[in-house]
Every structure is written in structure tokens, then in C-alpha cells.
Structure 1
């Protein structure tokens, strides 16, 4: 609409900024007369805005909430907590500046779901609030039902009930208490981050719409459950398929020639190992991965940050030069979609899981924190497209056994069949008659209407 002005409030940690920008980019392209004011910390914006963007996205740097002269500890949650505590004041101030700059009042607030206080801000401004949950249906359900989980399991009794399942929540029958994110019923329930997620679960039903990077057919029961909780619930993913390589405007970035190397490998044979940019298993486990790869003789591409390469066993890179490659960065989506790809070894972050699902590739998950264990449990027990690493951490023998199970055993063949089925459902969802395609149109209507 001619006078629409959408305020986009990003959460500047992990892959959150990247995800909300990808959607904003698509919305801005679909509605060129709408102004999108994108609010994010300067550090996060710097990493996001290296390429071209539509002219109607205006970028605003906001404070990260760290007081001047303050030295952050090594605890990664500290930066998150300082930002969340300062964010309501910061965003309110910057919104007023943006309205003056473009001479348009904000008509919609499009925010990361973690920015739950946007519910109050939108109500004060008499505008709609559209919230983006960047993870899956499973973890959103856990946060929405936090009070019920606490009442049913009992915070004080939780240690003895870790193996019990959440059968009292529709769609969570195969999820165990120990799989749900810390801060829901165990861990530090009073930390700023736990409180934020709890408040978010209580606030989201007030949103005009809640949307996420998933597709309805991945978890039909949870889809029905979430629809009952929100005014409007829209699954618009997988984003990896919506922004597919075939629509790419820029040339493919593959500095280490991973895809050329893949061309020489046989179908379904390669293991791809990557744990995202934020978390990596401890050094001892990196050694176990290297030893397991070497003794298994499985061809591999391992995306490992340079600072972590010092932990690899002496001589490993030389001895495995023919077998595989260790690179500081790899074109993940294209690698997963290559016919030689056989298994994705990952932390189980939502983007990684969905990219694997979109490519029809089975997984070996090694959860680290947050929603990882929940996603890994869904991979193993709900969708049956992979497994969680034996004993929850890497050992040489355990990793070798896991590779053998997925790549060679009958079990792995079933995972492959199930993966292919989910891939087809994902492709159907983003096709012009599919649920995600229609839901994206619904999102566009919610965001740009005046």
C-alpha cells in the first residue's frame, strides 16, 4: 500500500538477523512502495548488508545495550541479556527517528519473536504486530506451553522425570522432558533469557500474525495446535527452497571448490560436517570426529573455522587429503543438494535441520544448546530421518558406528526414504499451489495493509 511503513526489529544474535532480513528482502521486493525500516545493531548489520538490497529497505544501527567501557565476560549469554534489558528503550527511540526521516508513521511492526515487548509497543502505537519465530513448530510449542509443562512435570521433581514424554500436549507425544530447551522446566528458570522466552510465549497470542521458517506438512498435528493458539499462524518455509539457487542473482560463492570435489564422488557417499558459526563441540570431540572419519574411510567435507583447526590430530589433513577436505567455509545448501551427499553431521540447529530436510539428506545430530536436542529428537523419533550421536557426544567408535548406520545399514536406507518423502512435501509447499506459497501471500497482506 502506498503509505505503508514497516518497522523491522531484528534480534542480533546467531542466524536470527539473517533470517528476518531474508524475509524482509522478499517482502520489500513484492511491495516496492512500502518502506521497510530495518533496526539492528551495527555489528550485525555490518555482517548482513554486504550485498545489494531493495531501495525500500532503510537500515538503522541501534545500540547493543553494552554500557560504555564495559568488558563482556566469556559467557555468550551476557551480551544477549544486556541487549534484551536495554532493547525496549533503544527501539522506541529509534522508531521515532525513522518516522521523522521518511515522513511516514509506522503501520506495522515486524519483529523477531524474542522481541516480545513489541506487543505493548504496537498496542500503544495502534499498529499491527507480526512476529517471526526463527525455529521450528516443536520449540515454539514448548515455549507456548511452558506453564502447563511446569505444572504437569513439576519444577522440583523434574530430575526424576527426564525420560517421560509430553503426551499431554498434542503433537509432542514422542518428545521427552530432557529434549525440551533449558529454561522451560529445568536449568536457570530465572535468567533474563529464560524469562524472555516465557514472556514471549505469553505475549505471542496477542500478535496479529505469527510466521515461521517451516512448512505445515512437516508437523501437521503441531500445525493444528499452533493455529488454535494464534490469531493467524503462517508457515512460509523452507526459506532455502524459496530463495533457491536457481533464483540466484549473484554467482555462486565456493572459494574452496567443494562442489568440484563432490563431482568425483559416488551417489549418497559423502559426509558433510558443520556446526554453525556460533557453537562447536569441545576440542576432544573434534579429535574424535577426525579419528572416526579417518578410520571409516568415508569421503567427507568438513566446514570448520580456522581457529578450531589447531585441535585436529597431527598429520590428519595430510593423511586424509585424498579422502576429504577441511575448509573454513562451504556452500552448505548447494552441497546438501548434491547427489553425492549421504549424511549431514550437525548440531541440530533449526536452519540446518530444515536445509537437510529440503535436500532429502539424513542427519547425525550432536545437540549443543537451546532447541538443538528437541530438533535432534524430532529428526530421530518423529520424522525418522536420522539419529542423535551415541551417548550424546562424539567418540571415535561411536561416530564410526553412526556413519555406518546411516550410510550402510538398512536403518539408514529407511532414513533416506523418509528424507526423500519430506523433501517432496517441502517442494510441494513452496510451489504456486502449496501451503507456504499461499501463506507468504497472507504474510504480505498482513504486513503492508494500512
Structure 2
């Protein structure tokens, strides 16, 4: 036994020694000393795009960009107030860093690529002028060429994206989209797709009024809905529904105009209903729910059409197994539908309504809790004698105890979380005797207020 142990021990020592023996394949980064002048004074990382400021100090472009965008007007090293914000590429230093990286690839150092020079405002202005001219002539090829240049610039970095947006690209592209859509959707489908693709990342956090005006025109809305209808690239559908969502999400006159115009387009309700039902893409599903909310909020005609299609049942089925974003939006729409008599009647008729709504209280998020309570409150408050069973059902699935917890922790949200729970408790109280039931699992993760 002892000999066997010694034999294994000896083998282990030999293996350990072999493991410790250095080889070109396992050289460690700790053995490598990076020259100090190759390191950015801000991030202390190897510079990939060294630029020199008016103070004479060189930084990595990304690091100094972040520093200046934070509102700092001085050089981080010298604390000297900068005369200007010009960044002069230090080509000599970059070449030295690239040569050093190539020589030390065996240490795992990747060769620093030659950075692309950021675009200037004048270049963006020239391209946008060409897009405007091409749209005026309805020149597909000319516009496509310019839009592809915009997309190529945007792919090169956030700095380029900011420069593109700051020079008014969104409104120019939206104007071109409107011009080509007005000339004919089918024959200009390709250029409209490209414009929409370029616009997709410019819509956040919000659209300016001029961009809204062009995207909200009848021709543009017809084109966006047409993209949703036809069998084609899922990304095109996603860009179209995102454009509609951002367009309707702005609370101004353009929003109301767009809702009214969209409501007049035949078949839009069927398309959105299908997107929610199919769940082909999380982005499309969430955006479709948001668009549906605005349509049922402002258009009685479309609200009735959606209800006839069975929107309440679809929303309840969606709520059974959905992630947070979809759940919140589905509850948002369901709460809105409970404002009208027809919506409440469908909710009363569905056996899932109260159990699902109560289940979502304190389970998903503060926002979901708000919408769930609001919907239950509307259903209980407006219940006729024949519909009073919803109050009993709410008690049976544990609504009373959950409402007490909501009042205790005072969930934060856009809506008033105190009045509706309190009034709902008063409505439920007369039916309490012998009917309460509660799932304790709902309270395990509650954040206490003390």
C-alpha cells in the first residue's frame, strides 16, 4: 500500500513539474511588460486609437470621448482647460503599438487594428443633401447609395452615430421615406426598406416633431403597414412595428393624427392581433401590444374590432406564460379594455380573468401590480348582481391578502397605488366570510418598507 502511494506521489510530482515547465504555448500575460506610453492615462489599458489634445497629452479616443461627453472641459492629466476639443490622431504612436502587439502575439496580445477616422459633420451634411435631392427626383439608386453610406458609418461606432443624428439625419430619412412611399410602395419597396433600416436606431429615445410628421403621413403609414402584411424579412417587419410604436408613443398632435390615420387602414387590427398570437419575435410582440394600446385607447372603431376578434381571451392566454415586458404590456391593454362595457363583458365571461389578474399581483413588477389591481378594481366596481361572482372569485384566489400587502409595502408606480387597493378591499370585505384562500409563495420576495 505504501509503495503504491509512493508510486502515485512520484507520478504526481513529475506531472506537476511538467505542468510548471514553461513553453511557448502557455506564456503568461504576467510575464509581459507593456510600455507605459502605450497605456491610456484614463483607462490604463493599451490604446487602440491614440489621439492628442490641445494640452499635448495623448489618450485613447474612446476614453477621452467619454470624459468630454460627461461635461469635463479640462485635460485629465494636466487639469489644463482645453482651448478646443480637437483630437489629433497620433499615427506614430499607433504604429508603434501595432508593431509591439504583432511582436507579442504569443502572449495573447491581439494586433491593434487601424482605426477608422470618425466622420465629420460636413460629410454627413453632404450625404443628407444628396438623399434629399434623390428623394425629390425619386431616384432609387442615388438614394440607396447614400443610405448605405449612412449605415456603413453608423456601423463603425457610436461617435459616428451621434454625429449622424445631431446633423438631422432622422428627419431627412423620414422625408425621403414619405417621398418614395407616395410615389408607389411596391416599386419603391427596396429603397423604403433600406431607409427604414437606417432609421431604426435613430428613433430612440424619441422622434423629433419633423420626423413624426413625415412618418405619420398617410403614405408612410400605408407603407409601414404594407411591410407588416407582406411575407418577407422578419427584420423589416420588426423595423416597421418599432417605427409605429415610437410614432404613437409621443404625446402630441402628431400622435393623435397618426392614430386616426392608422385606424383607417384596412386590416391593421388583424395584423397586430396575429403578431401577438404568433409570438414570432419578442420585439414584435411587445411593440404590437404597445401599438394596440394606443389604438384601443383613441379609436372606438378599432377597439370594437379587436374585441370582436377575441382580444381579451388572447391577452389572458398571453399572460399565462410570458416574460416581464410582454406581461406588463398585455396587462396595460387589458386594463384599458376594462374601461368599456364590452371589454368588461368579455372579461366576466372568461374563467381565466380573475385568477390570472390576481396571480400577477406582486409576482412580476410594480407596474404589473398596478395594472392588475386597476383591472380587478374596474371589474369588481362595475359588476352587476349577476356578475358579483367575480368578487367571490377574487377572494377565493387570495386577492384580499395581496391587497393588504400592497398597501403595506406601497409599491411605487405611475398610478395611485393606495386608493384603488383600499376601495377594492371595501368592495371585497362583505363577501369574506369563509372564502379566503392565499398562496404564501407570493410574499416570499416582497421588499418590506421597514
- TM norm structure 2: 0.22
Greater fraction strand: 1
Structure with the bigger RCO (C-alpha within 8 Å, sep 6+) is 1
Q: If each structure's helix is expressed as a fraction of its own residues, which one has the higher value?
A: 2
TM-score scaled by length of structure 1: 0.22
Instruction: Please identify the structure whose Cα radius of gyration is greater.
Output: 2
